């Protein structure tokens, strides 16, 4: 009974503990006491199973006739271990009996009050299956995971674990001139969206994450200051289109009125918060171009801005000479000396007596007119006049002399052979035919004293032109003047004396009124002794009977006591002149009179030695620079296949011989090493 009392006292101290804890599931036990007024009493204890497996405890009270009563407890075990249940029966002398059922957990009876580092948790009870709620972290700390409550388990621990991690610092401290755009928290793992304060622009990514070590991601972005007003950098400029002055943004510029933009109009705000430098400049427009060009007018004008062009003209009575288009340069000035307005020429009849104007389009500078002579006068010279830039007509182009008019009007397709020759009374003139026509008959005409021509004794028939007209110093073999060159006619051309023929002289007049070929007669070159003026030099071997024909060559040499410096060879060229030569004849250095004039009055041994040293120095040849030296060091190239085959065979032979030598050396080396190793092992 003493033991029973001890047990009862223990039971009273834990009477309110009716909840049991397992390491895995929570179980509840319900004890029902059923009494009656008869001697037999009955007690049933029911165990409420867990959510996984069903367990039952049935306690049956068995009465007896004595004061002492017996209790039978039936335990239905489960797979859960580490738990113990004790049922104690407390008898009484009265009819009512009392039974207490105690649930005894394993090694620990309760959890300690939950301690959260850098946080707190509210838990009024700490026994098994007790709940800890109101989980929170201190200021500047945040939960690592979301946990609503913790439960005390039979092993004396709270679960799930609730951890508080230190928040990251304010990202504005690490990113200058930044601000929050979107922020939930700065806890570990959280991400905030950043921006920049007014006047600054972001360069980089705007999202920052708080890392596990409670530090923020660094160098994700920069807040760079916006660029200033670009008009401060570009004088006389205006902003044409502007969206932003932030870093990396662009704007389009223009210039104020009266100025033109030269360069690239688009500016970019750089990372150093400055606009693109020297992208353009605003150049002042050019002034009135008429101030630069006298007597001028503006023909077409779109703009006077830099790089623009305008077209100019001259006032009435003046002619534009030069380029009429002007460009406004970057220095705000028009193209200089592009043209000039020249005054028109006057009446050409004032310059040429007894003349008349045959055809006239303009009297302006650079224009031409055709002149003629009055009746009874003949035009001698060139009838076309040009108004020069000095506002005067061509001078002395012709004259109107008393004589005959141009006789070409009397014979169709004819012309004067020498129109510049004066057609004075008594003068004779040779007539020719136009291209595609040939002279038939005597083409000589004479101007009579009554200013008329002798009747023409020729006509121009279809045929080839006289080839002598296009080939100077030529003649036709066995040809009778006045015979027309009709299609199919064959002639032989030759050159006159002192002329060299180039080409084949035999030619035929074709049906298209053209010759099959033609020759050229190159006149001999002049006497080289008179053509060149080289002191103390003569042409070697040249005499009065020597040829000076095209292609002949001679060589200059110096007179006695002089030395030739330069290349003295000359050749008669196609233009009937000698090739140029650059030579000089200088006094010989050697004192011997056979070689030249002496430089010294008294020749001593020292003088002789000096001359000898100078001569040796001049005649010394660098052996390394000679052709023989170069040939010794370089092999001659031979592209023949036989040579290549020989070279391949030589390479193979050399390779075999060299390989055999190396192999023999390797075998000897191998034997030496083997002997060395054997002797070393024997030791």
- pLDDT tens digits for range 507-519: 999 999 999 988 9
How far apart are the C-alpha atoms of 526 and 578, rounded to whole Å?
8
Return the CATH fold of 528-612.
Complement Module; domain 1 (2.10.70)
Is residue 250 within 8 Å of 265, Cβ to Cβ?
no
> How does pLDDT run across 171-180, given as a tens digit for each residue?
877 888 888 8
Strand order in the sheet with 325-327: 296-301, 309-314, 325-327
- Average pLDDT score over residue span 563-569: 89
**pLDDT tens-digit readout, 142-161:** 887 888 888 888 888 888 88
- On the question of pLDDT at 84 being above 60, the answer is no
Mean pLDDT within 363-392:
85
**Residue 337 backbone dihedrals phi, psi, to 5 degrees:** 55, 35
| Interstrand relation of 178-182 and 191-196 (parallel, antiparallel or unpaired) | antiparallel
C-beta separation of 225 from 275 below 8 A: no
pLDDT band at 467 (very low <50, low <70, confident <90, very high): very high
The strand pair at 221-225 and 250-255 is best described as unpaired
Higher pLDDT, 49 or 144: 144
Structural contact between residues 401 and 421, judged by C-beta atoms closer than 8 angstroms: no
CA distance 444 to 429: 6
Within a 10 A sphere around the Cβ of 275, how many other Cβ atoms?
21
Summary mean pLDDT of the chain: 77
pLDDT-based confidence at residue 4 (cuts at 50, 70, 90): very low
Q: Is residue 78 within 8 Å of residue 29, measured between CB atoms?
A: no
Distance from the Cα of residue 207 to its chain's centroid: 37
Range 155-169 average pLDDT: 84
Q: In sequence order, what are the residues at sequence separation of 6 or more whose Cβ sits closer than 8 angstroms to the Cβ of residue 399?
A: 352, 353, 379, 380, 381, 422
More confident residue, 634 or 548: 548
Report the C-alpha gap between 341 and 587 in whole angstroms. 61
How many Å apart are CA 245 and CA 420, to the nearest integer? Answer: 80
Measured distance CA(292)–CA(437) in Å, rounded: 55
Q: What is the largest CA-CA distance in the chain?
A: 198
Task: Please determine, for residue 76, whether its predicted confidence score (pLDDT) is greater than 90.
Answer: no
**CA neighbor of 90 nearest in space, from 75, 72, 65, 68:** 68
| Helix, coil or strand: residue 488 | coil
CB 522 within 8 A of CB 500: yes
Q: Is 613 helix (H, G, I), strand (E, B) or coil?
A: helix
Burial 224-242 (b: 16+ CB within 10 A, else e): bbbbeebeebbebbeeeee
Residue-wise pLDDT tens digits, 184-223: 777 887 888 888 888 787 878 888 888 878 788 888 888 8
For residue 287, name the pLDDT band (cuts at 50, 70, 90): confident
Q: End-to-end CA distance of the chain, in Å?
A: 98
E strands, 477-549, in order: 490-495, 499-502, 506-508, 520-523, 537-539
Nearest-angstrom CA–CA distance, 210 and 141: 12
Nearest to 12 by CA among 116, 67, 129, 90: 90
pTM for the model: 0.35
At the second CATH level, the architecture of 230-284 is Ribbon (2.10)
- Give 395-403 contacts, CB < 8 A, sequence gap 24+: 395/351, 397/352, 397/371, 398/352, 398/355, 398/371, 399/352, 399/353, 400/352, 400/353, 400/354, 400/355, 400/373, 400/374, 401/377, 402/376, 402/377, 402/378, 402/451, 403/377, 403/378, 403/427, 403/447, 403/451
Q: Which CATH number fits domain 171-225: 2.10.70.10, 2.40.50.40, 3.30.450.20, 1.10.10.10?
A: 2.10.70.10
Q: What secondary structure, in 3-state letters, does 347-408 show?
A: CHHHCCCCEEEEEECCCCCCCEEEEEECCCEEEEECCEEEECCCCCECCCCEEEEEECCCHH
The distance of Cα 1 from the centroid of its chain, to the nearest Å, equals 111
Of 424, 421, 419, 381, which is closest to residue 401 (Cα–Cα)? 424
Please name the helix (run of DSSP H) or strand (run of DSSP E) that holds residue 510, with its range, or none: none
Query: Residue 302: left (phi > 0), alpha (psi -120 to 50), or beta?
Result: alpha
Which among 524, 502, 504 is positioned nearest to 515, based on CA atoms? 504
Strands 457-462 and 553-558: unpaired
Residue pair 392/344 in contact by the 8 Å Cβ criterion: no
Lowest mean pLDDT among 212-216, 413-417, 552-556, 622-626: 622-626
Q: How far apart are CA 207 and CA 234, in angstroms?
A: 37
The CA distance from 315 to 298, in Å, is 10
DSSP H helix total and E strand total for the chain: 6, 48
Torsion of CA 629, 635, 637, 638, to 10 degrees: 130
439 pLDDT higher than 90: yes
Confidence of residue 403 (pLDDT cuts 50, 70, 90): confident
> How far is CA 645 from its chain centroid?
48
Can you name the CATH fold of 289-343?
A: Complement Module; domain 1 (2.10.70)
Total residues belonging to the chain? 683
Following DSSP, what letter does each residue of 86-146 receive, concatenated?
A: EEEEE--SSS--EEEEEEE-SS-SBPPPP--TTEEEE-S--BTT-EEEEEEE-TTEEESS-
Contacts made by residues 303-308, CB under 8 angstroms, sequence distance 24+: 303/260, 304/328, 305/259, 305/260, 306/260, 306/262, 306/330, 306/332, 307/260, 307/262, 308/260
Which DSSP letter does residue 226 get? P
How many CB atoms are closer than 10 A to CB 414?
23
Is there a shared CATH topology between the 289-343 domain and the 528-612 domain? yes
What is the rounded average pLDDT of the residues 99-112? 53
Phi-psi region of 318 (alpha: psi -120 to 50; beta: other; left: phi over 0): beta
Give the CA distances from residue 301 to residues 284, 327, 492, in Å, rounded to whole numbers and listed in that order: 17, 11, 65
Mean pLDDT for 291-315 is 85
* Predicted confidence (pLDDT) at residue 58 exceeds the cutoff of 60: no
Mean pLDDT of 611-628: 67
- Residue-level pLDDT at 140: 80
Return the domain boundaries, the chain.
Answer: 2-104, 119-166, 171-225, 230-284, 289-343, 528-612
What is the 8-class DSSP label of residue 535?
T
């Amino acid at each position: 009974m003493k033991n029973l009392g001890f047990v009862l006292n223990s039971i009273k101290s834990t009477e309110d503990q009716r909840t049991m804890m397992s390491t895995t599931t929570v179980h509840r036990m319900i004890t029902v006491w059923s009494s009656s007024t008869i001697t037999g009493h009955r007690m049933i204890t029911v165990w409420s199973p867990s959510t996984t497996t069903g367990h039952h405890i049935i306690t049956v009270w068995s009465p007896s006739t004595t004061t002492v009563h017996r209790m039978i407890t039936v335990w239905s075990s489960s797979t859960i271990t580490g738990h113990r249940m004790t049922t104690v029966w407390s008898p009484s002398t009265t009819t009512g009996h009392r039974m207490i059922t105690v649930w005894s957990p394993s090694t620990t009876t309760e959890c300690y009050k939950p301690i959260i580092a850098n946080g707190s948790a509210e838990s009024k009870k700490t026994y098994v299956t007790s709940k800890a709620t109101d989980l929170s972290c201190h200021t500047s700390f945040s939960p690592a995971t979301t946990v609503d409550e913790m439960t005390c388990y039979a092993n004396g621990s709270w679960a799930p674990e609730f951890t508080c991690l230190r928040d990251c610092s304010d990202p504005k401290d690490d990113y200058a001139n930044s601000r929050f755009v979107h922020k939930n928290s700065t806890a570990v793992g959280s991400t905030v969206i950043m921006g920049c304060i007014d006047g600054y622009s972001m360069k980089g990514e705007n999202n920052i994450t708080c890392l596990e070590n409670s530090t923020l991601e660094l160098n994700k972005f920069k807040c760079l200051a916006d660029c200033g007003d670009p008009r401060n950098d570009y004088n006389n400029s205006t902003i044409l289109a502007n969206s932003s002055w932030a870093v990396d943004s662009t704007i389009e510029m223009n210039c104020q009125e009266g100025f033109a933009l030269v360069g690239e109009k688009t500016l970019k705000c750089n990372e150093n918060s400055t606009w693109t430098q020297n992208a353009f400049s605003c150049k002042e427009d050019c002034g009135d171009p008429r101030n630069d060009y006298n007597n001028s007018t503006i023909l077409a004008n779109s703009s006077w801005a830099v790089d623009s062009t305008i077209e100019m003209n001259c006032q009435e009575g003046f002619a534009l000479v030069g380029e009429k288009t002007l460009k406004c340069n970057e220095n705000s000035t028009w193209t200089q000396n592009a043209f000039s307005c020249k005054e028109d020429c006057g009446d050409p009849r004032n310059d040429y007596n007894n003349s008349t104007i045959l055809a006239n389009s303009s009297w302006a500078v650079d224009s031409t007119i055709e002149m003629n002579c009055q009746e009874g006068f003949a035009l001698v010279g060139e009838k076309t006049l040009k108004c020069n830039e000095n506002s005067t007509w061509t001078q002395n182009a012709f004259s109107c002399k008393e004589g005959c008019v141009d006789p070409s009007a009397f014979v169709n397709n004819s012309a004067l052979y020498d129109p510049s020759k004066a057609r004075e009374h008594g003068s004779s003139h040779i007539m020719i035919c136009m291209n595609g026509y040939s002279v038939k008959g005597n083409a000589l005409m004479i101007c009579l004293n009554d200013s008329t021509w002798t009747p023409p004794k020729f006509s121009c028939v279809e045929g080839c032109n006289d080839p002598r007209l296009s080939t100077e110093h030529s003649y036709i073999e066995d040809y009778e003047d006045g015979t027309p060159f009709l299609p199919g006619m064959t002639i032989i051309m030759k050159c006159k004396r002192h002329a060299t023929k180039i080409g084949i002289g035999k030619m035929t007049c074709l049906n298209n009124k053209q010759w099959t070929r033609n020759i050229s007669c190159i006149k001999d070159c002049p006497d080289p002794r008179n053509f060149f003026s080289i002191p103390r030099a003569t042409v070697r071997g040249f005499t009065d009977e020597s040829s000076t024909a095209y292609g002949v060559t001679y060589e200059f040499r110096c007179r006695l006591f002089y030395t030739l410096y330069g290349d003295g060879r000359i050749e008669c060229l196609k233009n009937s002149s000698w090739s140029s030569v650059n030579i000089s004849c200088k006094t010989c250095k050697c004192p011997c009179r056979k070689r030249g004039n002496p430089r010294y009055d008294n020749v001593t041994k020292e003088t002789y030695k000096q001359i000898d040293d100078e001569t040796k120095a001049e005649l010394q040849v660098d052996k390394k620079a000679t052709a023989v030296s170069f040939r010794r060091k370089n092999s001659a190239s031979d592209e023949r296949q036989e040579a290549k085959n020989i070279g391949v065979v030589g390479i193979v032979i050399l390779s075999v011989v060299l390989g055999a030598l190396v192999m023999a050396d390797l075998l000897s080396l191998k034997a030496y090493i083997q002997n060395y190793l054997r002797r070393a092992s024997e030791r």
